[in-house]
Structures are given as structure tokens and as C-alpha cells.
């Protein structure tokens, strides 16, 4: 089965977009993992699957979008991928505003003529059972045992997927490659977690690196940037509008006071398009 694909990225966070609106695609976890291999497959931080929206769904959407990690597990949300889909659909439908149905709910993406796309990620959720945590506790101060003493308590929330943000005095205080996998699979997080390691450089600027569950250290993580910006404001470390610098680029995040929705703006780039023979990869 030959399938067309688009390779895209948002600030270096890269995706393969497959269109299953006209025919179903056989994408077992093993096949997704094989496609994700950067030497033997196409390579990506997430695979993005476009599907026809359910006719009886609440609210109108232009497309249903599903996100899969390189290990084949499904993710509830991906901000940078949502922006990339927004750019694709905006060009296809010849209008700037696109509505996406995701596991995290309905999201609106608006494409600008300069290649920037803004996506409304909705309102963050702070309840311990919605992150979720393994037990009841303060999501602004999540203490994890078995981790280096230089790692401060984390601040946890859900952006449709679980995040825990750590605010460090310097970027070199901890190594995300060493600490990230331990945080991701810590017993405190029954669904695993995305671990963000942030430095507040100014009241309107953060430096961030994210260890993503199922993907590892990525050049950028849109929902992780949203989580870090919101958590920083909750802790009184920054304002509601910040610039977040990641390894792969810069994103603008605003936690809107009027409705608590988080808006994320940044580049959405089409790297190339191609065709892949799915049968060549593990089923």
C-alpha cells in the first residue's frame, strides 16, 4: 500500500502527516515505530493521522487529528503538530482558520501569510486526577523521590497530555537526557509524563528543554511550552505572555485571562512530501 506523506516541523519538532480521510491505513504500533526510525524509516517526533470528522460529533470540525509517538503509543495532544495541520488544511481549504478535533477537544488554528500559525490549545487542567497524578496532592509542588537533589519540585498540569515543569537556576543544573527518562516513568505519573526543564530568563522569556514521553529529548514541544509558560505564571515567575526559546526555535505563548485558553504561535514548515510503501515496514 503506497501512501503519500508530508514531512513538516514546527521549530524543529518534526512530524510525518498521513491522510486517512479517504481510506483507512493499517498503522499498528510496530509499523509506526518502524516508520519513526531515522535510519531505516522516515523519522519523526510524532506521526500525525488525518481522519474524517465524525458526522454526529459535537461541534463542527474540518478534520479529526490523531497523534502517535515514535514508540507507537497514542498521544492526546501535540501543539506544534496541530499548527502544522493548520497550515496544510488552510492551503487545502483556502481559508486561514481551521478547526481540528483531537482527543483533547476542538482546537482552532489560524494561519498567517508569513508562515506563522497560531493554535488555541484550550484551557489547561490542574486537578491532580486530570494530570493525572498517582495520588491526591498539590500540582504546583510535586515532589518526586529518587531524583537528584538539585531538581526542585515540579509543577504539573494537563494540556490534553500530562506535563511536569521544573524551574532551574541555570540550564546546566540538570541533564534532561539523564533525568528526563526517570521523570517520564516515575510512579507518580500513571500515564507517564512530559518533563520540561525551564529557566526564567526574564518576566517575558523562558528557556526550555523538554523530554517527551515516548519520544525523548526533542528540539521543541508545543504543549510543553504551553505548560511551562502557564506553570511559570502560576508560580509568579512571569507574566501571561512569554516567549519560549527551545533548542529548535522560538514560540510565543499567551495564557489569555478572558477565558484561560492558551494560545501558541510559531512557524509551521513543510520540509518535503513523498510516498511510502507501508507494506515494507513491520505490521
Binding-site residues for substrate: 13, 46, 69, 79-80, 161, 194, 212-213, 222-223
Give the closest residue to 120 by CA, choosing from 239, 271, 258: 258
Please indicate whether residue 78 is annotated as part of the active site: yes
Q: What CA–CA distance (Å, rounded) separates 119 from 133?
A: 27
Please indicate whether residue 221 is annotated as part of the active site: yes
Q: What CA–CA distance (Å, rounded) separates 110 from 247?
A: 24
Q: Which of 84, 164, 221, 238 is catalytic?
A: 221
Contacts of 269 (CB under 8 A, 6+ apart): 8, 9, 10, 84, 115
Q: Which of 78, 84, 164, 238 is catalytic?
A: 78
| Residue 85: its H or E element | helix 79-93
Q: Which residues are annotated as a binding site?
A: 13, 46, 69, 79-80, 161, 194, 212-213, 222-223
Q: What CA–CA distance (Å, rounded) separates 254 from 260?
A: 9
Q: Which residues pair with 14 in a beta bridge?
A: 9
Any idea which residues carry the catalytic annotation?
Answer: 78, 221
Amino acid at each position: 500500500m503506497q501512501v503519500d506523506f508530508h514531512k513538516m516541523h514546527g521549530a524543529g519538532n518534526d512530524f510525518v502527516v498521513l491522510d486517512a480521510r479517504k481510506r483507512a491505513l493499517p498503522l499498528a504500533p510496530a509499523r509506526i515505530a518502524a516508520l519513526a526510525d531515522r535510519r531505516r524509516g522516515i523519522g519523526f517526533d510524532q506521526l500525525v493521522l488525518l481522519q474524517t470528522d465524525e458526522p454526529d460529533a459535537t461541534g463542527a470540525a474540518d478534520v479529526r487529528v490523531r497523534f502517535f509517538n515514535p514508540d507507537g503509543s497514542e498521544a492526546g495532544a501535540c501543539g506544534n503538530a496541530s499548527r502544522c495541520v493548520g497550515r496544510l488544511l488552510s492551503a487545502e481549504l483556502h481559508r486561514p482558520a481551521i478547526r481540528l478535533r483531537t482527543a483533547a477537544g476542538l482546537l482552532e488554528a489560524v494561519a498567517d501569510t508569513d508562515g506563522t500559525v497560531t493554535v488555541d490549545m484550550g484551557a489547561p487542567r490542574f486537578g491532580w486526577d486530570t494530570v493525572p497524578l498517582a495520588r491526591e496532592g498539590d500540582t504546583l509542588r510535586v515532589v518526586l523521590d529518587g531524583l537528584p537533589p538539585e531538581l526542585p519540585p515540579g509543577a504539573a498540569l494537563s494540556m490534553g497530555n500530562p506535563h511536569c515543569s521544573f524551574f532551574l537556576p541555570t540550564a546546566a543544573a540538570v541533564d534532561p537526557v539523564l533525568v528526563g527518562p526517570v521523570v517520564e516513568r516515575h510512579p507518580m505519573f500513571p500515564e507517564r509524563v512530559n518533563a520540561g526543564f525551564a529557566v526564567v530568563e526574564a518576566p517575558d522569556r523562558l528557556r526550555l528543554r523538554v523530554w517527551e514521553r515516548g519520544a525523548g529529548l526533542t528540539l521543541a514541544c508545543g504543549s510543553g511550552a504551553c505548560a511551562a509558560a502557564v506553570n511559570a505564571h502560576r508560580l509568579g515567575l512571569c507574566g501571561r505572555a512569554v516567549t519560549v526559546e527551545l533548542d529548535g526555535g522560538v514560540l510565543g505563548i499567551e495564557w489569555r485571562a478572558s477565558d484561560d485558553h492558551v494560545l501558541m504561535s510559531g512557524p509551521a514548515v513543510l520540509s518535503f512530501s513523498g510516498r511510502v510503501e507501508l507494506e515494507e515496514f513491520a505490521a
